[in-house]
Amino acid sequence: MTVLEVKNLQKTFGTIQAVQDISFSVEAGEVFTIIGPNGAGKTTTLEMIEGLVTPDQGEIRFGEMNWGKHAVAIKKKIGVQPQSSAMFDLLTPEENLNLFATFYDKARPTEEILELINLTDHRNNHVKKLSGGQRQRLAIGLAMISDPEIIFLDEPTTGLDPQARRNIWDIILQLKQLGKTTILTTHYMEEAEKLSDRVCIVDQGNIVTLDTPAALIEKLTEEREVRLSFIDGAAAAEEADRYSKNLDSVARTERVGTSLKLWTTKPEDTLYSLFGFTKEKNYQVEQVSIRELSLEDVFIAFTGKEWRD
């Protein structure tokens, strides 16, 4: 079931075209991630969908509802992670949650939320004493307090250390188990790959590509990088390099000392042939690997640009 559909969204600030033409739809229960480098238009897209920024052009529909006619009903359906400045520093997480709960007719019990965001042990500490990761977890809890169907998280892990980021990932996975739909932005590829059902890669206000992480990576599998290293020294690697270059499936090779890298459209066939060759020559291969592709490779392939966090 489609819970959100956006069509041809556009937004310009002065001379900056923040969002040029963005269309996608989100299904119930999925983690849908918008990923892109700084300034790609992620936050602007999210804020238009959240009803915080008015689009210059385009349509936003939550099922049959739109912001023009059904703002009150949409607000009940969605949860938006507040900026940390919206929290009350001199109150505790529990008090913040209780206070936010008063803004809604229906609220999820504070106890449950504290558990979900793993702040039960810190429920009585002042927010100003919390770490960055704990504050971000509280922000997710505040987005959850009205028990919304769709939760928007804008770069919830930016600036956090790896452990704190993983803690946030756990919460996002728990939201999925609760049947919630999560719309996430990030500029961490690894995060998008780990958490998302579908990923929408944006760059300069446009969608570069959109699919499941596996399908995006699959699109690139035409050429894979195979690495080998030889116990018998550089001469063996050099001979194997010469041999590989003559194989039809090998597009190019690169050799450094005893290591050989080759790019092939048929990694298994290439390795069979190469192992036949090394056996015949009695060369011993020390290590062999076929490099896994990541969403980072997808971004580079589609935009021709290096990915920078």
What residues line the site for ligand ATP (CB under 6 A)?
Answer: 13, 16, 18, 36, 38-44, 187
Using alpha carbons, select from 87, 32, 83 the residue that is nearest to residue 213.
32
Residue 146's identity, in one-letter code, is: S
Give ∠ CA 278-279-280 in degrees, rounded to 5. 90
Smallest gap, in angstroms, from Cβ of residue 140 to ligand ATP?
A: 18
Smallest gap, in angstroms, from Cβ of residue 29 to ligand ATP?
A: 25
* Strand 2-13 relative to strand 16-27, pairing: antiparallel
Between CA 20 and CA 205 the distance in angstroms is 5
Q: Which residue has the tokens 């992670």?
A: 81
Tokens for 297, please give them.
């490779």
Q: Which is nearer to ligand ATP, 40 or 274 (CB)?
A: 40
Q: Which is nearer to ligand ATP, 38 or 54 (CB)?
A: 38
Say which DSSP state 49 is in: H
DSSP 112-165: HHHHHTT-GGGTTS-GGGS-HHHHHHHHHHHHHTT--SEEEEESTTTT--HHHH
Smallest gap, in angstroms, from Cβ of residue 9 to ligand ATP?
A: 11
Smallest gap, in angstroms, from Cβ of residue 24 to ligand ATP?
A: 15
Q: Which is nearer to ligand ATP, 182 or 258 (CB)?
A: 182
Smallest gap, in angstroms, from Cβ of residue 13 to ligand ATP?
A: 3
Q: Which is nearer to ligand ATP, 93 or 156 (CB)?
A: 156
Q: Which is nearer to ligand ATP, 42 or 198 (CB)?
A: 42
Return all residues near 156 (Cβ < 8 A) that are at least 6 apart: 81, 136, 139, 140, 168, 172, 184, 186
Smallest gap, in angstroms, from Cβ of residue 167 to ligand ATP?
A: 21
Q: Which is nearer to ligand ATP, 186 or 273 (CB)?
A: 186
